[in-house]
């Protein structure tokens, strides 16, 4: 019997070379990725599981929504700020570094999302396996496509009894045009299949391009202010390396600083000897002047050959403006300092000083949306211990006067007389509504009541539909989201993007308290809504403003025309209580004396207007128009 031929030995794979201490990590072993999704689809929970699976955080340190470290984020259960964290993974003896930048899901924080995506090469598109594709899923997916990122679809919550992964995959392919055949199903809550997500990141997200030997080139994507250490800058290195002791330069600000410390977030700040190409980390330079840090700035070396400035970010569009005033006038400078510190961390809002006859000295602040405005106010109250009075929000309008000059108007008090206005333009947004098909009629009626213009209707699946309307931004930011949730029983979602400015039949509605115009209560609205809106606001004010010792008339006016009036009656004392019988002339004398006193008090008395009254102007007049 012939001997069997000897089998040829398979060539063994060379053992991976271990990285020496002090040697930078090869950029091909780095993966920078983001998680994008609709609000409440499980981004923060998936981030928790990835930290757990990679061993970055021990079970003892673990808690829910670990990266959401702000009190407000934990209270509301939403992500407000982007959070960066570095994870180390060993696979087949090779060391990989995964840098996750967790992003918010709410429409108001789109600016945070775009900043994060600029620093990444890939994105996990997280979709709820039960709820499916929602409005923000569509918006965030398109943002990732615009940034030319590798998109990995992930179906979360597959452990739910009502999960429908096959239908949701169809929705992803139909709505977004992405191949969902290799979508990974997982449960961020239980940790089911989360290891497969790590493998997909390593295999499918491309490594960063760049060279450690090139001049330093890094992008500032966020910053926070520390009372003791100054501004702490978060940056992503595109080229080169940075070490403590280096002299660096901010190209946009034109300032030079010495690097005191560099490190990475794991998720706590962990000091490193250096940061190299492709890495995401932080840098401390003892920067005390808040104006020296600009989000989107490029960091390069101050000596030798310098790098080219990076494109940075688009300037965010502030669409909602309101006044913030300290309840105690002596706190004006404290409020200015608190706003300055907050702006280092959140450059998407702006502020400038203004005065009000009713409220004194304060600031006119611009925000990305209504939730953003709420968050900034609450952060000021909690982090800086400020007691604030907030005026009703307004959007930005454009007005062309008779002499042909265009002006941007952020507050109703700056609207000129109607006779001086040639054209009054309002911002219009394109709104995408995603909802179960049975609620289409209710949402269409809501949009037509707000004078929306129908654009198109699409079916994502037999049970789910998307409506697209063009609506005035003023109608959207006030209470459109709340009304949508009540009409669709919580299943409807919306997302909007700025379309442009269009001419409208708009007027300024003034509120007069005791004959004096209160500038903080003025609003801009459509002429056809002015009468019911004025009546609704006046009725609401009557409930909110307490009674005084004198009569307080409340009026709503357009120019010189009064459209609504209510009167808060005076508190009365029975001055004839001690008169038992006798001549009526004695009672008449007491009544006349009381009347004279109230008349004198009315001429010199001040009306106290509580904070709730300033928000009464948010009433749209819907209830009034139904009567």
Residues in the annotated binding site: 40-45, 156-159
What is the rounded CA–CA span in Å between residue 238 and residue 316?
23
Alpha carbon 240 to its chain centroid, in Å, reads 33
Contact 282, 229 (CB under 8 A): no
Instruction: State both tokens at 383.
Output: 């982090």
What is the rounded CA–CA span in Å between residue 440 and residue 465?
8
Query: Which residue is listed with tokens 């994060």?
Result: 116
Beta-sheet strands, E only, within 182-260? 184-185, 217-226, 230-239, 247-250, 255-258
User: Which residues are known binding-site members for GTP?
Assistant: 40-45, 156-159
What is the rounded CA–CA span in Å between residue 87 and residue 74?
23
Q: Give CA separation, 601 vs 48, 53, 323, in Å.
A: 63, 72, 30
Residue (of 589, 564, 521, 23) closest to 272 by Cα position: 23
DSSP secondary structure string for all residues of 337-363: HHHHHHHHH-TT-EEEEEEETTTEEEE
Contact 69, 159 (CB under 8 A): no
With a CB cutoff of 8 Å and minimum separation 6, the contacts of 69 are 83
Other beta carbons within 10 angstroms of residue 307's beta carbon come to: 19
Instruction: State both tokens at 66.
Output: 């670990």
Q: Give the three-state DSSP class for 71.
A: helix
What is the rounded CA–CA span in Å between residue 102 and residue 83?
5
What is the rounded CA–CA span in Å between residue 169 and residue 317?
34
With a CB cutoff of 8 Å and minimum separation 6, the contacts of 380 are 324, 335, 338, 339, 342, 386, 388
What is the rounded CA–CA span in Å between residue 383 and residue 378?
8
Instruction: State both tokens at 436.
Output: 């179960």
245-272 per-residue burial string, b: 16 or more CB within 10 A, e: under 16: ebebbbbbbebebebeebbbbbbeeeeb
């Amino acid at each position: 019997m012939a001997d069997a031929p000897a089998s040829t030995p398979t060539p063994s794979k060379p053992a991976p070379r271990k990285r020496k201490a002090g040697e930078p990590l090869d950029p091909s072993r780095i993966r920078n990725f983001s998680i994008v999704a609709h609000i409440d689809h499980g981004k923060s929970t998936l981030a928790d599981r990835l930290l757990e699976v990679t061993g970055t955080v021990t079970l003892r340190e673990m808690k829910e929504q670990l990266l959401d470290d702000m009190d407000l984020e934990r209270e509301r259960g939403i992500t407000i700020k982007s959070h960066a964290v570095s994870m180390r993974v060993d696979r087949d003896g090779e060391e990989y570094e995964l840098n996750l930048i967790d992003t918010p899901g709410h429409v108001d924080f789109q600016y945070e999302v775009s900043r994060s995506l600029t620093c990444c090469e890939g994105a996990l598109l997280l979709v709820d396996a039960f709820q499916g594709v929602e409005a923000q899923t569509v918006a965030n997916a398109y943002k990732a496509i615009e940034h030319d990122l590798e998109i990995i679809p992930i179906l979360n919550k597959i452990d739910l009894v009502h999960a429908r992964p096959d239908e949701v995959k169809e929705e992803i392919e139909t709505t977004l045009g992405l191949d969902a055949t290799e979508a990974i199903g997982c449960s961020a809550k239980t940790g089911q299949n989360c290891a497969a997500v790590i493998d997909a990141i390593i295999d499918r997200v491309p490594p960063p391009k760049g060279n450690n030997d090139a001049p330093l080139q890094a992008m500032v994507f966020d910053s926070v202010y520390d009372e003791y250490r100054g501004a702490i800058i978060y940056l992503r290195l595109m080229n080169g390396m940075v070490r403590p002791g280096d002299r660096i330069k901010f190209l946009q600000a034109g300032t030079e600083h010495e690097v005191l410390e560099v490190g990475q977030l794991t998720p706590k700040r962990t000091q490193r000897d250096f940061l190299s190409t492709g890495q995401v980390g932080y840098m401390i330079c003892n920067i005390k002047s808040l104006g020296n840090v600009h989000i989107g700035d490029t960091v390069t070396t101050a000596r030798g050959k310098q790098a080219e400035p990076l494109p940075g970010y688009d300037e965010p569009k502030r669409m909602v403006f309101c006044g913030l005033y300290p309840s105690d006038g002596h706190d004006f400078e404290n409020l200015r300092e608190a706003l300055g510190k907050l702006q280092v961390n959140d450059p998407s809002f702006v502020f400038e000083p203004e005065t009000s006859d009713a409220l004194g000295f304060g600031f006119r602040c611009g925000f990305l949306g209504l939730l953003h405005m709420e968050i900034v106010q609450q952060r000021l109250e909690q982090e800086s211990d400020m007691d604030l009075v907030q005026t009703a929000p307004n959007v930005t309008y454009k007005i062309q006067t008779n002499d042909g000059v265009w002006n941007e108007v952020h507050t109703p008090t700056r609207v000129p007389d109607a006779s001086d206005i040639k054209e009054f333009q309002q911002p219009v947004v394109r709104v995408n509504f995603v909802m179960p098909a049975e609620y289409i009629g209710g949402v269409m009626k809501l949009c037509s009541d707000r004078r929306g213009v129908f654009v198109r209707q699409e079916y994502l699946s037999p049970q789910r539909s998307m409506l697209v309307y063009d609506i005035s931004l003023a109608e959207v930011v006030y209470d459109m989201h709340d009304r949508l949730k009540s009409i669709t029983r919580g299943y409807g979602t919306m997302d909007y993007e700025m379309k442009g400015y269009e001419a409208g039949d708009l007027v300024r509605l003034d509120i007069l308290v005791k004959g004096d115009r209160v500038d903080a209560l003025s609003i801009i609205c459509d002429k056809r809504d002015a009468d019911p809106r004025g009546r609704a606001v006046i009725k609401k004010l009557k409930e909110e403003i307490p009674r005084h010792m004198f009569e307080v008339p409340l009026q709503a006016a357009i120019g010189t025309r009064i459209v609504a009036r209510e009167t808060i009656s005076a508190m009365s004392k029975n001055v004839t209580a001690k008169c038992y019988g006798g001549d009526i002339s004695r009672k008449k004398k007491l009544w006349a004396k009381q009347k004279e006193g109230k008349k004198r008090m009315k001429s010199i008395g001040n009306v106290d207007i509580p904070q709730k009254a300033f928000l009464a102007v948010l009433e749209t007049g819907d209830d009034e128009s139904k009567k």
